[in-house]
Amino acid sequence: MAQDPTTLGGTLNAEIVADISAVQQSGLLDYRSEELPTWCPGCGYYGITQALMQALADLHIENRNLAVVSGIGCAGRMPFFVNGYGFHAIHGRALPVAQGVKIAKPELTVLVVGGDGDGLGIGGGHLPHAVRRNVDLTYVLFDNGIYGLTKGQSSPTTPTGQVTGSHPYGNPDRPLDAVTLGLAYRASFMARGYAGKPHELYPIMKQALEHRGFSFVVAITPCVTFDKVNITYDRLRESWVPIPDDHDTSDLGAAMRLALSDKLYYGVFFREDRPTFNDNVEDTSGKARE
């Protein structure tokens, strides 16, 4: 509900009032519920939320046609903060629930959110199957390389050697790379962005929401509370490189070479149009009716 910013407090200066007015007029608040996010101050999730809200507003997706499905973890709280339908599923099971939502209500825009632990650890077995079926979902993996909600244990994307709550002598395991996995599974839309640059993440989100099929967006995001050494704003500020303009997004091999490069590329790696899960269900139903 928009509130007159001049009534919010006597100490607000004109610049802050103008900022608040701009946010109110942007339409972004239409996608926010009245619940205030409970994430730590400085968490990258605010930037991801900003990018998502902006993409939803740009596409004029109606609140009654939006469903947000999450698993467990800090990212799992997202449905509470969005003005739309929401389902906070059990750990690692966001994708199966979301597939059920999409098959029952194909008219909905179904957004799936979750962390690296939820999506690549507990729920890691669901990802390839949702991808290969090309279920028409937008899956945003909030990758902070740590289990944040449970207070800083190593996750599937924690780098080798990083000291964490579960590995005080350093994580001995090799990390997974979500982009490489998504390409190997052949997600029909594969992209990566950075929470610290929401204005660059937003057009990626918009393309992902517009894509018909499984859109997989890996959003690299600092956990400011439990990771002071790896995914930090200071470290990532300079290391992001946009995918070159001449990259052919229909070339899976080229996409994989970018993903395996030492550089941290952001943008759209790969996209292709192919029948979705709902298309195939319709097709099978038609054949059965005949």
Residue 65 tokens read as 């046609």
Residue 220 site contact among ligand SF4, Mg ion, none (CB < 5 to 8 Å, cut-off depends on kind): none
How near is the Cβ of 49 to ligand SF4 at its closest, in Å?
A: 11
**C-alpha to C-alpha distance for 182 and 119, rounded to whole angstroms:** 12
How near is the Cβ of 115 to ligand SF4 at its closest, in Å?
A: 7
42 versus 161: smaller Cβ distance to ligand SF4: 42
46 versus 265: smaller Cβ distance to ligand SF4: 46
126-155 residues near ligand SF4, rule: CB under 6 A: 144, 148-149
Binding of residue 115 to Mg ion (CB under 5 A): yes
Residue 116 site contact among Mg ion, ligand SF4, none (CB < 5 to 8 Å, cut-off depends on kind): Mg ion
DSSP 164: -
216 versus 226: smaller Cβ distance to ligand SF4: 226
**C-alpha to C-alpha distance for 33 and 79, rounded to whole angstroms:** 9
- What element of type H or E holds 241? strand 240-242
Residue 240 site contact among ligand SF4, Mg ion, none (CB < 5 to 8 Å, cut-off depends on kind): none
Total chain residues near Mg ion (CB under 5 A)? 3
Residue 201 site contact among ligand SF4, Mg ion, none (CB < 5 to 8 Å, cut-off depends on kind): none
**C-alpha to C-alpha distance for 161 and 170, rounded to whole angstroms:** 4
> CB under 8 Å to 218, separation ≥6 — which residues?
141, 143, 178, 179, 182, 191, 192, 193
70 versus 99: smaller Cβ distance to ligand SF4: 70
Give the one residue of 225, 256, 275, 279 binding ligand SF4; rule: CB under 6 A. Answer: 225
CB 79 within 8 A of CB 69: yes
The DSSP bridge partners found for residue 32 are 82
Give the one residue of 223, 236, 243, 259 binding ligand SF4; rule: CB under 6 A. Answer: 223
| Cα–Cα separations (whole angstroms), residue 168 to 155, 163, 223 | 14, 5, 18
Binding of residue 116 to Mg ion (CB under 5 A): yes
Q: Is the dihedral of CA 236, 94, 176, 169 positive or negative?
A: positive
Q: Which residue has the tokens 């292709």?
A: 272
Stretch that binds ligand SF4, among 20-28, 38-46, 82-90, 163-171 (CB under 6 A): 38-46
Residue 110 tokens read as 């179904």
155 versus 207: smaller Cβ distance to ligand SF4: 155
CB 233 within 8 A of CB 144: no
Total chain residues near ligand SF4 (CB under 6 A)? 12
28 versus 89: smaller Cβ distance to Mg ion: 89
DSSP 234: H
- Identify the CA nearest to 284 among candidates 99, 108, 101, 103: 103
β-strand pairing of 138-143 with 189-194: unpaired
Residue 224 site contact among ligand SF4, Mg ion, none (CB < 5 to 8 Å, cut-off depends on kind): ligand SF4
Instruction: Write out the residues near ligand SF4 by the rule CB under 6 A.
Output: 39-40, 43, 45, 74, 144, 148-149, 223-226
